[in-house]
Amino acid sequence: MITANPFALDGQTALITGGGTGLGLGMAHCMVATGARVILVGRTESTLQQAVRELGPMAHAVAHDVTELDRAADLVSAAERCTDTPVSILVNNAGIHLKKLAVETDPDAFELVLKTHVLAAQALTQAVLPGMLGRTHGHILFTSSMAGLFGIPYVSAYAAAKTALIGYMRSLATEVSSQGVRVNAIAPGWIETRILKKALEGDEARARKILSRTPMAQFGTPEDIGWAAVYLSSPAARFITGVTLPVDGGASMGF
């Protein structure tokens, strides 16, 4: 059956970690524009409130540190209380960067990267899944990276985390997709945000290398990721699960 607008997210409620800035905020903008309610999760109340003002009445915020793994269920309850609707889209997007040679990366720093990206995503996924499975409706989306697809120097911890998310996403997709819950990942290319600025600071050669291997010869915008997130979360993608979609101006296939 052809729906009037299969790309619309009317009636959906999306919880977006790291939703107050960068890619998360871009996804929030695009989801609100297509009819969803969004709940932004981050650590800094003032950043979240600024984002909520930008987004308007369909946006809410809950301040929360995703590395507090045993509080994941409390976060989902708080989010559902503030919108009075169940979370139907979970975007595991919060992340930190670590640019260091592998030989200089100490175990504590490595662990924090894994905890922020992977363990936090697992805890939140577990917290939303029973509700989604009970309603036989949901979409769980992970923000991976080019570092999950090919080798990039100085980011061993980050690459380990982003690759782990893809494996977790695939396995989960095989378990829950027959029960109305789809699971996917986006692998953003190089997108202009705070994390990218930090990664490229004082490293002109790296910036040149990125652009030279990106067929579109430009960095992306948070909205480029946002529209991909809308598509994957929408009824238009109802037969899509277990994929990692590069949104990268061609970087992952460019030579």
**Cβ-based nearer residue to ligand NAD, 141 or 191:** 191
Backbone angles phi, psi at 24, to 5 degrees: -60, -40
- Name the helix (H) or strand (E) containing 187: strand 181-188
Q: Encoding tokens for residue 4?
A: 């009037």
The least distance separating ligand NAD from the CB of residue 179, rounded to whole angstroms, comes to: 27
Contacting positions for ligand NAD (CB under 6 A): 17-18, 20-24, 42-43, 65-67, 93-96, 116, 143, 145, 188, 190-191, 193-196
**Cβ-based nearer residue to ligand NAD, 54 or 175:** 54
**Cβ-based nearer residue to ligand NAD, 179 or 252:** 252
Q: Is 253 strand, coil or helix?
A: coil
Based on the residue annotation, tell me whether 168 is a catalytic residue of this protein: no
154, 158, 168, 231: the active-site residue = 158
Residue partners of 168: CB distance under 8 A and separation at least 6? 118, 121, 122, 142
**Cβ-based nearer residue to ligand NAD, 36 or 186:** 186
Question: Dihedral of CA 241/242/247/252: which sign?
Answer: negative
The least distance separating ligand NAD from the CB of residue 208, rounded to whole angstroms, comes to: 16
Question: Dihedral of CA 70/132/61/96: which sign?
Answer: positive
Query: Which residue is closest to ligand NAD by CB?
Result: 22
The least distance separating ligand NAD from the CB of residue 109, rounded to whole angstroms, comes to: 14
Helices (H), ranges, the chain: 22-33, 45-55, 72-83, 107-114, 120-135, 156-176, 194-200, 204-212, 222-233
**Cβ-based nearer residue to ligand NAD, 172 or 196:** 196
Alpha carbons 104 and 204: distance in angstroms, whole number: 22
The least distance separating ligand NAD from the CB of residue 36, rounded to whole angstroms, comes to: 19
> Tokens 């209380």 correspond to what residue?
81
- Name the helix (H) or strand (E) containing 61: strand 59-63
Alpha carbons 169 and 220: distance in angstroms, whole number: 24
The least distance separating ligand NAD from the CB of residue 47, rounded to whole angstroms, comes to: 7
Active site residues: 158
